Amino acid sequence: MYKVVDARGRSCPEPVLMTKEAVSEYDGTPIEVLVDMMVAVENIKRFSKNQGFNVECSEDADGYSLIIKK
């Protein structure tokens, strides 16, 4: 089970800010961030790794899914 952050349709830096809020509340439950732009993927990956998290990314017809966990 994941905590889902749906940032599709939002422009940077909003997806990163939404991710930052979710990471600040991290309780061990993996976070799934949904975005639809590659620039958001790269920015969220960079931010999450700088915070000590692991990030897995996958792509489907609706955009990108990033799973963030420690």
Residues annotated as catalytic (active site), given as ranges: 12
With CA atoms as reference, report the closest residue to 42 among 9, 10, 66.
66
With CA atoms as reference, report the closest residue to 49 among 7, 19, 13.
19
Helix (H) or strand (E) holding 32: strand 31-35
